[in-house]
Amino acid sequence: MIPERAYPTHPIVGVSVVVFNDGKILVVRRGREPRKGRWSLPGGVVELGETVRDAARREIREECHIEIEIERALDVLDRIFKDPDGRVQYHYVLVILLARYKSGELHADSDIEAAEWADIHDLARYDLPDEQQQLIAQARAPLYSSEAAKILAQRERTDARRAQRIHVVLERVGQAQSLLDIGCGSGEYLRAAAKLGIPRLVGIDESPERLRQAQANCPHAELHLARADKLTFVDQSFDVVLAAQVLHEIALFGQPGDLERTLSEISRVLKSGGRLIALDHLDPGPERVRVRLPQRVRAQLDYFVQRYQLRKITLEECPDGTLWLSRRDLQDFVTKTWAFGTAIEDLEMRETHCPFDREKIEALLSKARLTLCEWLTFEEISEDLAEHGIELVEGASWPRKFLLIARS
């Protein structure tokens, strides 16, 4: 039995859920006090004998007719409302969970007046309580859901050039006593670093599923669920910080300022003279090249042109069947075909593999008081073109990755 909600004799345990669905958040207009008729995160009261997570799933099923997948607990909030006489009219202890939409068609039921998917950039019009707005800003669901993390791990296992990449990075780690891997993903760099005998290996990632993979790959690494822009380590903790193919995700999917905050956190946790080793995609610039594609690949390119969200892909057809397109467009195309038809396709279509050039990176590093010491470019695009059977008719191949070492 649920105790009286108004003027309760004890605090009532409630649950609120930040449900993400492709850049949108589930909000409901409350049908009962407190804040009747106002927008809020969905949720309700935990029933006797019910777990908080079950209560969250049940409430959202009853109120909104959808199923959710719970990722993790975000916070605990006290909601205490007093009446004009100073008596406690409502007292909730609210557990806030982060979840993802799984299935079902949204419609309002039970004790709510309306339910909507609110664009995360347009939350102001819902006038959510301040503390809920802060929670949403902090929460932002991890980029990779459980399913997406599995697909990415599978891709990583079959990526022919990955072993070479890990080798290039690990060669530069040297005699470190401590290494922090930011966005460690499935932990393959940590596993390779363990073979170097580095005593302290730490990995952080924002995705619980990816951390589970890292745990299996490198059981003796210390792993933390955390965001790169909020590191929980004390100053000067590590000899080496590694950031392999994560900076572009922070730049593209983080909040404004996350990349700058991440680099400043890296600088803070590096020991004096410690090194950041970063590997990421390199922007080949807007220059155009002329290519000839096999028919099957041409059909894939047409599909890519339709699906890619980040910018308009422009093709110029030549009478001899060849095509002009920018190096950026070609690089994003050939490095993303693997994701077509997978649960990760939407995400890949909102991301670019041309995020940084050296100038941009140097400016970011210097803002974080990190000094660039080594800059290496590698992985020729010609290898990707060959894999796709694409002939480069005009223009030369270019490297599509960089590796840098910066000192604090």
Ligand X SMILES: C[S@@+](CC[C@H](N)C(=O)[O-])C[C@H]1O[C@@H](n2cnc3c(N)ncnc32)[C@H](O)[C@@H]1O
Q: Could you list the residues that contact ligand X (CB under 6 A)? A: 142-144, 156, 183-185, 188, 204-207, 210, 227-228, 244-246, 249-250, 254
Pick the closer one to ligand X by CB: 110 or 337. Answer: 337
Pick the closer one to ligand X by CB: 15 or 148. Answer: 148
Strands (E), 237-395: 238-244, 270-281, 288-292, 316-317, 323-326, 371-380, 391-394
Pick the closer one to ligand X by CB: 210 or 327. Answer: 210
- What letter represents residue 31's amino acid? G
To ligand X, the closest distance from the beta carbon of 159 in angstroms equals 9
- How many other CB atoms are there within 10 angstroms of residue 256's CB atom? 6
- What letter represents residue 368's amino acid? A
Pick the closer one to ligand X by CB: 154 or 322. Answer: 154
Q: What is the dihedral of CA 82, 88, 92, 93, to 10 degrees?
A: 100
- What letter represents residue 159's amino acid? D
Q: Compute the distance between CA of residue 263 and CA of residue 31 in angstroms, rounded to an integer.
A: 45
Q: Compute the distance between CA of residue 180 and CA of residue 157 in angstroms, rounded to an integer.
A: 22
To ligand X, the closest distance from the beta carbon of 186 in angstroms equals 6
Pick the closer one to ligand X by CB: 327 or 401. Answer: 401
Q: Compute the distance between CA of residue 364 and CA of residue 360 in angstroms, rounded to an integer.
A: 6
Bond from prior residue into 34 cis (ω within 30 degrees of 0): yes
Beta bridge partners of 372: 406
To ligand X, the closest distance from the beta carbon of 243 in angstroms equals 7
Of the candidates 11, 24, 112, the one whose C-alpha atom is nearest the C-alpha of residue 63 is 112
- Kindly report the CA angle at 339 between 334 and 342, in degrees rounded to 5? 160
To ligand X, the closest distance from the beta carbon of 386 in angstroms equals 23
To ligand X, the closest distance from the beta carbon of 380 in angstroms equals 19
To ligand X, the closest distance from the beta carbon of 308 in angstroms equals 18
Pick the closer one to ligand X by CB: 145 or 326. Answer: 145
Spacing of C-alpha 315 from chain mean position: 30
Distance from the first to the final alpha carbon of the chain: 59
The dihedrals phi and psi of 272, each to the nearest 5 degrees, come to -60, 130
Pick the closer one to ligand X by CB: 148 or 313. Answer: 148
To ligand X, the closest distance from the beta carbon of 329 in angstroms equals 21
Pick the closer one to ligand X by CB: 188 or 332. Answer: 188
Orientation angle between helical segments 162-171 and 188-195, nearest 10 degrees: 50
Pick the closer one to ligand X by CB: 227 or 336. Answer: 227
Of the candidates 100, 102, 75, the one whose C-alpha atom is nearest the C-alpha of residue 15 is 75
Q: Compute the distance between CA of residue 87 and CA of residue 81 in angstroms, rounded to an integer.
A: 8
